A and B are shown apart, each in its own frame.
Chain A
Amino acid sequence: MIISIASGKGGTGKTTVATNLAMAIGSDVQLLDCDVEEPNSHLFINPVFEKTITVTTPVPEVDEKKCNLCGKCDEICQFKAIIVIADTTVMTFPELCHSCGGCEKVCPENAIKETSRELGIIQKGYRNGIEFVHGKLRVGEAMSPPLIVKVRSFTKPDKFTIIDAPPGTSCPVIASMKDTDFILLVTEPTPFGLHDLKLAVGAVKMLNIPCGLVINRSDVGDNKVKDFAKKEGVPVLLEIPFDRNIAEAYSRGDMIVEKLPGFKETFLTLYNNIKKIVS
């Protein structure tokens, strides 16, 4: 079973829920941190990394001796990653390339071959019974979805897989949520939390995947998040009231299931409720 933890708004507690859920379950569980722009789960899980892989994407390189400047590559490229200027020069902009392979395919002179651009790295490790994988986008790289897809390729069907998704509702989030069995949305009961939750629920509906809600810092705002959840038929699976002890534990990188009493049971109940919904 694969579940993803998402939110719309950043900083609502996705990583707290993902890491503590993984820790409470403890065995036969995978945690894949797909927030490759700003991965944080490792700061809490502290895995022993045993493998680092560099992930690249193909980009074109032009052999200028073969190129006759016909301009077909320029014509097919939708991303302005290869251009022919004034019939005299061909230029590539590898950082704009989406790796569609169109230019190589269309070139009548066979003048384009594949080279690569680094997207980032993937690290894999363990802590006790938790298998941990995360991606780290190279600083300066714009495209995160291909790296997210690569992180997700480590999914093992016989395990319970938890995906920590990035904030927002655009392509990196969709890449993290699609083809999962369940989406756990984490929000806070504030106008920002509610507004971004509405967007996240919109994305979940588009993907047609069952979802449930965790309301974090559940006593800081108003009741509008609960009203919205009720109206949309999204079950509230867990409420975590604001507690300075939780905030401080989080700030240090401590796991609340280890440091604060009762939370291991809370997260195991959450786990069982998700399993019930999915089956």
Chain B
Amino acid sequence: MKELIIISGKGGTGKTSLMAAFAYLAENKVLCDADVDAADLHLITAPDILEKHDFQGGNTAIINKDKCTECGLCIDLCKWGAISETFEVNSIECEGCGVCVYFCPEKAIDFPLNTCGEWYISDTRFGPLVHARLGIAEENSGRLVSLVRNEAKKLAEEKGLDLILTDGPPGIGCPVIASIGGADAVLIVTEPSVSGKHDMQRVVQLANHFKVPAFLCVNKFDLNKDITDEIEKFAKEKGLTCLGYIPFDQNFTKAMVQGQTIFEYDSNSSSAQAIRKLWGSLLEKL
């Protein structure tokens, strides 16, 4: 079984639209949306939710006013300034470290487990999808990412499917680290802009840091050919293979607005042709 994660560093380079296009082309796969913070893949895949589960991650301190003597020790101990002078815990600020709970001399602080999101197993016109939704302003996105990846693996084993295609989050922090660790390969989607290139370089470093094989593709490559050349040069220096170049094509956005993959919207469009070729190259590498 192979697991491929699509990431980009910079947001908005076309990860999810490309992922949806791959979902159309790939066979025998499980789809997984690991961008739990702002998941969008379901907007194209229109899933029928088969299973829905709560995601519990981390705890939050709650002061029991009946027991609290207002000694103030918790306020002194809290490194996040989450406890007010009136002994209310701000749940957004609370890190869930439990130090106040442990040291409270009156045992007046409860520490319930948070339900901070949901995860789902769904059926789509492209096959099964494991996805999730982290509650707004919640922490533990990395743990939820690990959970959906594990569930996708279990599902692939159960169904005898040999590929997991995962849509990753932007950035290089906690959820991205959780998305790529131990994967067979990452495909980095970049665009020829100063920021696209800058962010791609950081995410390449991240993939190297965690020793995950990385491939590159350039979306909207013809928007700035000079920077596309620079990206190519960088890839060569780093021994990275650039597997494909997708032209700037307004059909790509129009398909997304219609809730379709580019192949369903216009399979003869320039971007569709480039993506078909890119997918072929990617399969060879996997």
A residues contacting B by CB (< 8 A) are: 8-12, 15, 37-38, 40, 43-44, 76, 78-79, 98-102, 105-106, 137, 139-144, 166-174, 178, 190-192, 195-196, 199, 202-203, 206-207, 220-222, 247-248, 250-253
Contact = CB atoms under 8 A, between A and B. Distances in A.
B97 to A, nearest CB: 3
Contact of A168 (B92, B169, B253): B169
A196 B136 CA distance: 11
24 contacts: A8-B38, A37-B176, A38-B170, A38-B199, A38-B202, A40-B199, A76-B102, A78-B96, A100-B79, A100-B95, A100-B97, A139-B209, A142-B142, A168-B169, A169-B38, A169-B137, A171-B138, A178-B92, A192-B16, A248-B223, A251-B193, A251-B196, A252-B224, A252-B227
B149 interface: no
Contacts, number: 176
B173 A140 contact: no
A40 B137 contact: no
Contact of A15 (B174, B195, B250): B195
5 tightest Cβ-Cβ pairs between the two chains A and B: A10-B11, A11-B12, A100-B97, A37-B171, A251-B193
Instruction: Give the interface size class of chain B.
Output: 35 or more
A191 B257 contact: yes
Interface in B141-174: 141-142, 169-174
A11 B79 contact: no
B283 interface: no
Interface string B220-256: 0001100100000000000000000000001001001
Contacts of B171: 37-38, 144, 166-168
Interface of B: 9-13, 16, 37-38, 40, 43, 58-59, 77, 79, 92, 95-99, 102-103, 134, 136-139, 141-142, 169-177, 191-196, 198-199, 202, 205-206, 209-210, 223-224, 227, 250, 253, 256-257, 259
